[in-house]
């Protein structure tokens, strides 16, 4: 490879890398509602996530008082999407 070509490839590489970085930095912020820190949910903060998720459907299942919205995305592993609220 001659020198000119190598320089060209180096410039291209930097441009692509910069483009990727800008793309990643522009990702939308996380907007999914977090797990509330109230009396209904506080006990789940001291549990492994997998254990906690077994209890969600008691209140958020089809028949429960607080069912999920109709357009709710696939719902296994609740706490991957609904992150814990940081203590304030
Ligand atoms: C004891 C009943 C109960 C259990 C168990 C429960 N929830 Fe809830 N949850 C509620 C009630 C009542 C509300 C609505 C009031 C509110 O917004 O805090 C709610 C609201 C929510 C919200 C919406 C908060 C908002 O800001 O709109 C999310 C997300 C949620 N629960 C996730 C979960 C997950 C995940 C679990 C299992 C780890 C769970 N809940 C278990 C009763 C419960
Ligand atoms: C794939 C990601 C994902 C998973 C898994 C998931 N959710 Fe959600 N959930 C969402 C999104 C997105 C919304 C729409 C409302 C928002 O957060 O902007 C939502 C909304 C909700 C709401 C209504 C919040 C409100 O104020 O409108 C509740 C309650 C809730 N989810 C509970 C649960 C429970 C319980 C589970 C597990 C059985 C679960 N979610 C699993 C992404 C998820």
Pocket residue to mutate for ligand 2, from 28, 30, 49, 81, most atoms within 8 A of Cβ: 81
Nearest C-alpha neighbor of 83 from the set 28, 43, 39, 45: 45
Per-residue pLDDT of the chain (88 residues; tens, 9 = 90+): 789 999 999 999 999 999 999 988 887 777 889 999 999 999 999 999 999 999 999 999 988 889 999 899 888 899 999 999 887 6
pLDDT at 62: 85
pLDDT at 86: 84
Which of the listed CATH numbers 1.10.3470, 3.40.50, 1.10.10, 1.10.1130 matches domain 3-81? 1.10.1130
H-type helices in 1-88, by residue range? Answer: 3-25, 49-53, 56-60, 78-81
CB of 80 sitting under 6 A from ligand 2:
yes
> 22-29: which pairs have CB atoms within 8 A and are 24 or more residues apart?
none
**pTM check: above 0.85:** no
Task: Kindly state the tokens that stand for 13.
Answer: 């590489």
> Which sequence spans correspond to the domains of the chain?
3-81
């Amino acid at each position: 490879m001659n020198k000119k070509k190598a320089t060209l490839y180096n410039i291209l590489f930097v441009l692509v890398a910069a483009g990727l970085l800008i793309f990643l930095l522009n990702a939308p912020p996380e907007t999914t509602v977090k797990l509330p820190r109230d009396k209904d949910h506080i006990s789940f903060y001291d549990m492994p996530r997998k254990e906690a998720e077994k209890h969600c459907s008691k209140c958020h299942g089809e028949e429960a008082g607080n069912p999920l919205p109709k357009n709710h995305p696939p719902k296994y592993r609740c706490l991957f999407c609904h992150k814990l609220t940081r203590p304030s």
